[in-house]
Structure 1
Amino acid sequence: MKEITKQEAKHFLVNYQLLNGNLKSDKKEGVLEVFDQIKTIQYDPLNVVGRNPDLVLQSRIKNYKANYLDELLYKDRLLIDGWDKMMSIYSISDWPYFNLLRNIKDESVQNSLKYRNSTEALQHTENVLSILKKSGPMLSTKIDLGSVTKGSWGHGKIAGAALDYLFHIGRVGVQKKRGTQKVYDLIENLIPQKLLDSDPIQDMHEFYCWLLLRRIQSIGFFWNTNSIVWDGIDTNFKDKCFRKNIIATLLDQGLLNEVKIENKVFYSAVNIPIEGDLEFDDKIRFLSPLDNILWDRKFIAEIFNFNYTWEVYTPKEKRKYGYYVLPLLFKGNFIGRIEPVFYKKDKILCIKNIWFEKNTKVNSTLKSNLKRSIKNFSNYLGAISIINESDQNII
């Protein structure tokens, strides 16, 4: 078993995640390169300084613009909205590999509807499909089938609940979005027939192997601990022994490698090369709270000695930092965090606060670098001016 240092582990992760200026392409080709490497990006509707997928991509792609992703999703249709680790975006070529997961979601969404007293939505699925076939892509709000049982929570309308179920089982997909609202269409209008007809994985054990490997590929390497990383699959993946058996199969197949870091065992989907100088570029990157590299906070604390909590759902009086705070990554280390807010109407980027880690050497060179990074971030947002409300002289 290969043994590496934490510094070597950080260097590998930053390079694997394409966070070291090592992306070969830019624009839409760069977006596809990122997805080819990390497989999936979680979707989140919050838009304080861009959507989560945009934040993930701007930290990796020089001069990234949000329309690159939108075009790949809804014009070129090389990417697709789907369920992976929560709601996500992934390559359309991966669609048939998720067939068994959609079977799992069929049962789980039905159970959710039962819990919410909304099972009447299931009686309207064929009606909804007929409406889409006749009228074309539609928002759920444009289909009036009445409301769900009074007092229930979740979708308030029958059409919304029915479309959500149909989406999770793969009968409809997202044709485009209007803000955060989904415009639905029949899946056969969105995905090539050859992908709809393809069924590459029919055995559950093989599927679990594929999915566990994919989750590790989404990070770079990982350990077999109970974690949010295994979310979105089924209850089996909550069991460490179950995952251990899957890992054993992947090790036997040569698809995973074991690596030891300070007497703890991790698993990587590729060989971790340890050779030459461990060099990092000089860009300070603003990472999304839901960036793949940050999926597991204990993992980040273990490897990077950085403790991060996303406080967006923490009551204001209990927050240590702020509502929407982004980690700052520089030369393989998390050097601090920043709280930016983008006022879209006036196109103003406001820097509410900046906090540096105790071991970060804050000098004129670092401040100059951060100033440049803030300017680049404002360009990504399309801001026309920057306001600094922090106690750092960086604007």
Structure 2
Amino acid sequence: MITKEFHLTLEEARALAICSQHLSENSKLKDPVEVVRALAGVQYDPNPVVSQNHYLVLWNRIPEFKEEDLDRAAYHERTLIEVYAMRRNKFFVPTDEFILYRKATRQIRRWGGSDADREAKECTSEDKRAEDMVVQAFAKNGPMVQEQLWTNLRHYEEWKDYVKRTRSGQKVKAPPLISAFYRMLRRGDVIVADRLPGTFRQPVFGLKDLLIPGPWPNENVTEEEATRWLVLRILKAYGITDRSHIAYITGLPSKKVEEALEYHRKQGLAATASIEGIRGQWWVIPDWQMVIEKNNNHRKISLLSPLDNFVRNRKWLNKLFNYTFTMEYFQKKNMKWQLSILFGSDFVGYVDCKADRKKNQFLVKSAEIKCKSKCLSAALDNSLLNLAKFHGLSKIIYL
């Protein structure tokens, strides 16, 4: 059944996107796993200027969320897993959906090639022996950080040299043993078993079969089926989007995205749409009106990390919300870490914050806010106070 084309006002389109991203006041999801599932994954990022991105994403969507809630799901219950997927490097996704993300994104090119290309090339007897050595090391010693792994494999100096040279920008071919480890990590044979306490949360690695016994769910799905599934999942995660937005988020070629959307349109699971005042073809979930009715946003305030799912593609954001910001991730000195302020259905500016954990202070370094009001000021002050408490910090300092 092919659904008709819908026509949305700008207000309806914005409300739909906010509700689909579970940023509305009445969002019912409270379980981190289900929020990650609904968002089509949450990007892992180590930047510790404030709480890491994956924690902030959930803090904005789950009342009373604590960092240990995500850690428990990922590293103890193992209902979430870190995976190399989509255009960006690492995401948390539900463990039972790992294979779907994996198969849908194997052909995506990152770091100079795709995982499918590497697996086709790195399949010699030497590569297999290297993988066996990695398996034996983990089987004998259990989960380890990389320093322990390479020490046990008597490969520590080679690994240090490889890391040093790659970080300096050199194009270096990884030795077979190191290549085997990273190949197994991307494939899911080795997983992040835990993360150590500390600012950057060093990963502890282990064998998937020892930590999550048995086959992956959905192992028999085809690449085409997985791609269709991922495109639909992204559409549902945003409610309304366009082909280029999905291609940007996933890394899939635009042609594959278009083919998947057309497939779902014929199944009645997706529909084309137009937005009043915005040019171009959009795609929408057919039950969009019901989503808006169930999740009226009112005047909730959210402080969104630059890597939050909602603002990650600034082109889509600017088209739909007439808002953008400058990303300064790779700037070493005086870097802004802008938390975009979503108030109701409008972006009203940003605050640049930093958590000074040594001094027990939450620093508000600068702010740029349009359309100031008493209502907004009160909501923002309260949200910053809650964010400071989330970091375990008792003082807010406005610089």
What TM-score bracket applies, with the shorter chain setting the length? 0.7 to 0.9
Cα 1:346/1:270, change in 2 over 3 Å:
farther
2:373 to 341, 357, 363: 363
**Partner residue, 1:254:** 268
d(CA) in 2 for partners of 1:369, 1:324:
20
Counterpart code for 1:80: I
Deviates more, 1:379-388 or 1:178-187: 178-187
d(CA) in 1 for partners of 2:217, 2:244:
36
Cα 1:84/1:367, change in 2 over 3 Å:
same
d(CA) in 2 for partners of 1:278, 1:88:
27
**Partner residue, 1:215:** 234
Deviations 1:263-292 (A, max 9, x none): 422112452107769943333210111111
Structure 2, gaps ≥5 residues long: none
Q: Is the 8 A contact 1:173 1:187 kept in 2?
A: yes
Does residue 258 of structure 2 align to residue 241 of structure 1? no
How much does 1:186 deviate? 0.8
Does residue 38 of structure 2 align to residue 18 of structure 1? no
Q: Is the 8 A contact 1:218 1:292 kept in 2?
A: no
How much does 1:96 deviate? 3.0
How much does 1:316 deviate? 5.7
Deviates more, 1:218-227 or 1:84-93: 218-227
Deviations 1:141-163 (A, max 9, x none): 11231416778425998565432
Alignment of 1:1-395 (within 5 A): 1-26=5-30, 29=31, 31-85=32-86, 86=88, 87-101=90-104, 104=107, 108-109=114-115, 124-142=130-148, 143-144=150-151, 145=155, 146-147=157-158, 152-153=165-166, 161-178=179-196, 179-193=200-214, 195-196=215-216, 198-202=218-222, 204-225=223-244, 229-232=248-251, 237-238=252-253, 240-262=254-276, 263-273=279-289, 279-314=296-331, 323-357=336-370, 360=371, 362-389=372-399
**Partner residue, 1:393:** none
d(CA) in 2 for partners of 1:378, 1:130:
45
Counterpart code for 1:385: K
Counterpart code for 1:125: E
Counterpart code for 1:378: A
Counterpart code for 1:207: A
How much does 1:74 deviate? 0.7
How much does 1:310 deviate? 1.7
d(CA) in 2 for partners of 1:207, 1:277:
29
SS of the residue 1:350 aligns to: strand
d(CA) in 1 for partners of 2:296, 2:216:
44
Cα 1:129/1:280, change in 2 over 3 Å:
same
**Partner residue, 1:392:** none
SS of the residue 2:381 aligns to: helix
Counterpart code for 1:331: G
Deviations 1:225-268 (A, max 9, x none): 27763444xxxx33x33432222112112221222113422112
How much does 1:301 deviate? 0.7
Cα 1:380/1:122, change in 2 over 3 Å:
farther
Deviation >3 Å, runs of 4+:
101-107, 109-115, 120-123, 148-152, 154-162, 274-279, 314-317
Q: Is the 8 A contact 2:25 2:295 kept in 1?
A: no
**RMSD across aligned C-alpha pairs, in angstroms?**
3.1
d(CA) in 2 for partners of 1:180, 1:69:
13
What is the count of residue pairs matched by the alignment?
Answer: 368
Q: Is the 8 A contact 2:47 2:53 kept in 1?
A: yes
How much does 1:50 deviate? 0.6
Cα 1:114/1:386, change in 2 over 3 Å:
farther
Cα 1:136/1:23, change in 2 over 3 Å:
same
Deviates more, 1:81-90 or 1:241-250: 241-250
d(CA) in 2 for partners of 1:248, 1:113:
31
d(CA) in 2 for partners of 1:250, 1:272:
15
d(CA) in 2 for partners of 1:93, 1:197:
6
Deviations 1:96-142 (A, max 9, x none): 32452575479735867999xxxx98762221111101111111111
Compute the TM-score of the two structures, normalised by the length of structure 1.
0.83
d(CA) in 2 for partners of 1:105, 1:71:
30
d(CA) in 2 for partners of 1:277, 1:210:
25
Bigger RCO of structures 1 and 2 (CA < 8 A, at least 6 apart): 2
Q: Is the 8 A contact 1:99 1:199 kept in 2?
A: no
d(CA) in 2 for partners of 1:111, 1:276:
46
